[in-house]
Amino acid sequence: MIEFRNVTKRYGSNIILQDLSFTIKTGEFVVLIGPSGCGKTTTLRTINRLIEPKTGTVFIDGKDVTKQNAVELRRQIGYVIQQIGLFPNMTVSQNISVVPKLLGYSKQECDTIVRDLLALVDMPYEENAQKYPSELSGGQQQRIGVLRALAASPPIVLMDEPFGALDPVTRDSLQEEVKRIQKKLKKTIVFVTHDMDEALRLADTIIFMDKGKILQMASPEEMLQHPASAVIKSFMGKHMDNDVPAAPLLAEDFMKKKVYKVYKSTKTLESIEMMSKRDINSLVVIDDDETYLGTVSIEDIKARGKAGRSIAELINTDIMTVGRKDDAKEALDKLLSSSSNYVVVLNDKRTVAGIITRTSTAKAMGEALWGDLSA
C-alpha cells in the first residue's frame, strides 16, 4: 500500500508536485499519465526516494519512507527505466542477480531465481543467461530489465515509460507479459506512460496528472466515459469515437459514379465498340426514361448478338441492385454473395446512380481510414 500525503516538490521557483495526496492499494496496477512536465515521473521517483519531497510524506505500508535507509528501501522496490539500463559489463544472469546479491542471497539461490524468471518470459536459460546485453534485441533487453526488477521479489515495482523506446510490436507483447506477470505474482505496480492506449490497456486505476496536480483518479472505463476535464478528453482522442456509434455507411459511400450506360435501343456493334474502347466487358442498359433495365455483357453479344440489331434482347437482369441510401453492408453482402463483379446502385426513381465494385469498395475504405488516397 502506497500513500502520498500532501507531497510537494519544487526546483527553484518551478513547482513540480503540488500538494499531492492519493493512495495505491496493494496489488493494484496503477498508471500515472499526463502531458509532459506534469510530474508523473517525479511522483514515481519519490516513491523510492530518488527524489525527496519538499513537504509532505510518502508512506509504504504505513511506514514513512524517509525514516528508512534509502539504499535499503530501494532494494525492496523494483525499478525499470525507459532506457532499459542493463549493465553492459554484466551478463544477463548477473544483471538479474544484482539485487539478490546486494541482499546477500547465495549463488545457488540467485541461479534458481534467474532460471525461474527467464522461464517466466520464455527465454531459455541455456541460450540467454550468459549473454551480454549488447547481444540482445531491444525487446529482449527490456524483458531482462523487468526480470531484474522482479528478482528479489519486491512487493512494489516502479516502471518509468519502460516500453517507450521499443517498436510497436514488441511493445504490444511486453505490455501483455507485464500484465500477465503482475496478475500472477500479485505485485503492486506503479507505471508511468504518456501513451493512453497503454494506460487503458494495463491499468486497474489511472491517475491523470497535469502541472503537478491530480486531475482524475479512476478506472479506465470510468475515465473513458466521464473524463473530468478537457485535457483528459483530448488525451483520450480517438478512443472516445469508438464508443459513439459511427454514422452508418451507405451504399452510395462505396460506389463508383462513373458508369457506362447504353440505351436499350443501342445497336450491338456500337456497344461492342464502346466496350472495347473503354476496355470493359459489360455495360449498364437503361430505358429511354433513364431507368435501369439491366446489363449487357460482351460475351452475350458475341454469343447471341446479331449485327444491326439493338441489344434490347440481350439484356441481363442477373446483376443485383441496391438503393443508394441502403445500408452499405447490404450492398457488400450482395456483392460478395453474387458471382458477378459489381452491384448496381439505383436512385429513388430507379435511375442509375453508380456501381459498386470490389475496387471501389477498397478505395472507399482506404479513404475512410487514411484520407484521400489520390494524393
Partner 1 sequence: MNELMHAIAEHLSIVAVAMVFATIIGIALGVLSYWKRKLGSFIISLAEIIQTIPSLALLALLMIIFGLGDLTMGVALVLYALLPIIRNTYTSLTQLPPYIIDAARGMGMSRAQRLVKVEIPLSIPMIFGGIKVALVNSLSIAVMGVLIGSGGLGYIIYRGIQQRNMERILLGAIPVVVIALIFDWGMGKAEKRLQKHTR
Q: What is the DSSP string of 191-213?
A: EEES-HHHHHHH-SEEEEEETTE
Three cell numbers, residue 303:
454469343
Instruction: Name the minimum Å distance from CB 256 to partner 1.
Output: 55
- Is the distance from CB of 364 to CB of 357 less than 8 angstroms? no
- Is the distance from CB of 373 to CB of 262 less than 8 angstroms? no
| 300 three-class SS | helix
Q: Which residues are CB-contacts of 272 (< 8 A; sequence separation ≥ 6)?
A: 298, 301, 305
Radius of gyration of the chain (CA): 33
Sign for the pseudo-dihedral over CA of 115, 118, 121, 122:
negative
Instruction: Name the minimum Å distance from CB 11 to partner 1.
Output: 17
Which parts of this chain interact with partner 1 (CB under 8 A)?
45, 48, 50, 71-77, 79, 81-83, 85-89, 98-99, 102, 132, 134, 148-149, 158
Instruction: Name the minimum Å distance from CB 102 to partner 1.
Output: 6
Instruction: Name the minimum Å distance from CB 89 to partner 1.
Output: 4
> Given its phi and psi angles, is residue 353 left (phi above 0), alpha (psi -120 to 50 degrees) or beta?
alpha
Instruction: Name the minimum Å distance from CB 33 to partner 1.
Output: 20
Three cell numbers, residue 220:
479506465
Q: Rank residues 42 and 266 by Cβ distance to partner 1 and give the closer one.
A: 42
Instruction: Name the minimum Å distance from CB 186 to partner 1.
Output: 21
Q: Which residues are CB-contacts of 210 (< 8 A; sequence separation ≥ 6)?
A: 34, 35, 38, 229, 231
The Cα–Cα gap between 33 and 197 comes to: 11
Please name every residue paired with 343 in a beta bridge, in sequence order, or none if there are none.
Answer: 356
Instruction: Name the minimum Å distance from CB 84 to partner 1.
Output: 8
- Residue 375: CB atoms within 10 Å: 4
- Count of CA atoms in the C-beta half-sphere (13 A) of 286: 19
Instruction: Name the minimum Å distance from CB 107 to partner 1.
Output: 16
Q: Rank residues 52 and 176 by Cβ distance to partner 1 and give the closer one.
A: 52
Q: Rank residues 77 and 353 by Cβ distance to partner 1 and give the closer one.
A: 77
- Residue 298: CB atoms within 10 Å: 16
Q: Rank residues 44 and 232 by Cβ distance to partner 1 and give the closer one.
A: 44
Q: Rank residues 79 and 342 by Cβ distance to partner 1 and give the closer one.
A: 79
Q: Rank residues 10 and 75 by Cβ distance to partner 1 and give the closer one.
A: 75
